[in-house]
Chains A and B, each alone.
Chain A
Amino acid sequence: MTLIAGRLTHLIFFALFCGVTYWATMRFRQTGNVPIRRVTGLDAFEEAIGRATELGRPVHYTLGRGLFDAEHGAQTFAGFSMLKHTATTCAKYGCRLIVTNQSPQAHPVTEEIVRAAFVEAGHGDAFNADDIRYLSETQNAYVSGVIGVMEREKVAANIMIGYFYAESMMLAETANKVGAIQIAGTANTHQIPFFVAACDYTLIGEEIFAASAYLERQPVQVGSLVAQDFGKYLAVILIVLGTLFASMGQPFLSNMIKK
């Protein structure tokens, strides 16, 4: 068994990440207090669902592409996590939730998540399987389907968490047209500007992965959140040092990272 060339730094960084997660988890368990930064977009969930409940109109939720492969899978799972929270809140408030899926793989998972959330909240009878809809795997067909759902159902809140391509703008603008409050989040850098331009609240990049930890505040989740912040500070330090050394003609830091 040999270490693959070029993966040593990855391994060291992963071990550091795990170590910081463990340390922060223990600290949170002992003190019950580890400072976490505020994420405005996540605080807006209650507001959005509460508004939909007051208006007596449904909430729409989408995972975007809903792909499970390596590059996009993590964002889809972040979307599942937020769907659980959204469905639980909708069940608690007695608000109708419509989930539209572009991915047939994600569809049964979303149905199970929403059903379980409604049952656990004691409102299993309010769950309607017809509100969890697979529309199409093709982008344009899916978009036209969602536009139809938004226009016909007059959704009051539109929540979009996951991996999105060009559908981001079309969905956000249609929801804006029907007067829906919008919360969107993706780690696809090409779509973030569209969400920022068109939505009320945008979760940028890593914020979608922090969502469940931020909302649930369980020890290990808080620990991984602290590790995320630690990783960011470490990245900033390495970037600054790397820039300085490279400017001085000493590329040893960048060479070391490549090992």
Chain B
Amino acid sequence: MKVIAIPIFVTMVVGAVVLVDFFVSQPNLVATAREFMNWGVIISAFATGLGAANLLRIHGNRASQRRANWPYSIVLLVGLIGYTVLGVAARSTSPTYQFVFNNLYSPLGATVFSFNAFFMTSAAYRAFRIRTMHATVLLVSAVLIMLGNVGIGAVISQYIPSIASWISKVPTTAGFRGVTIGAALGAIGLSLRIILGIERSQFGGLGGGGNA
């Protein structure tokens, strides 16, 4: 058996067992499918270690070779190693660990997330510039939705909140459902190709030249 065939064979067997388990109830099949899914969780846990190793390798090399922006790599390495050591030595429930998380990590995370307000504004400005019929429809809908969700909308016209509600509930929901149905069909097609060993991109060098 060629090396390339092993991962494809494993994919086909695991995929077929889990697929059949979705349709039929058979105790041995259910147990086997659950076992396969548990293996997936265990294998995924190992990958976290690989991710940390990648960070250490890339930033370790950058710092040791004094490449561009190397001081930032030192900051990352100190944070990564220091916080890991702290977590292992003092446990994640310790006041010191919690202090760093609550007073450094959480505010930084909230700051990055708050960028969204500015990014949304600039993206909306570009998208709403009236150049085409689609952009015009987008602009009109967005203005009605925004006005319908603030007090001034009802002051301008009593119909604006109702129109905004209708846009959200009818055309928007219909569009979302259409996309969801299409995506589900696409996922079925892709999954079928993976189970049959036709789609092999995920195997990289074992894929024998990519997709069959």
Binding site for B on A (CB under 8 A): 1-4, 7, 10-11, 14, 17-18, 21, 68, 74-75, 77-78, 80-81, 83-84, 88, 101, 103-105, 107-109, 111-117, 119-120, 130, 132-135, 137-141, 143-144, 148, 152, 166, 169-170, 172-174, 176, 187, 189, 192, 194, 196-198, 204-210, 212-213, 216, 218, 220-221, 224-225, 227-228, 231-232, 235
Contact = CB atoms under 8 A, between A and B. Distances in A.
Contacts of B40: 68
Chain B's interface size range is 35 or more
Interface string B179-211: 111110111111111101011011111110111
Given A4-B24, A68-B44, A170-B115, A104 B51 contact: yes
A133 to B, nearest CB: 6
Nearest to B181: A235
A183 B192 CA distance: 26
A17 to B, nearest CB: 6
Nearest to A110: B204
A133 B54 contact: yes
Contact of B127 (A3, A84, A198): A198
Contacts of B25: 1-4
Contact of B202 (A77, A117, A152, A172): A77
**Binding site secondary structure of chain A:** helix
Nearest to A113: B204
A130 B210 CA distance: 23
Contact of A107 (B50, B108, B185): B50
Nearest to B106: A140
Nearest to A69: B40
9 closest A-B pairs (Cβ-Cβ)? A209-B186, A104-B51, A112-B204, A206-B186, A187-B183, A74-B187, A197-B127, A206-B182, A116-B205
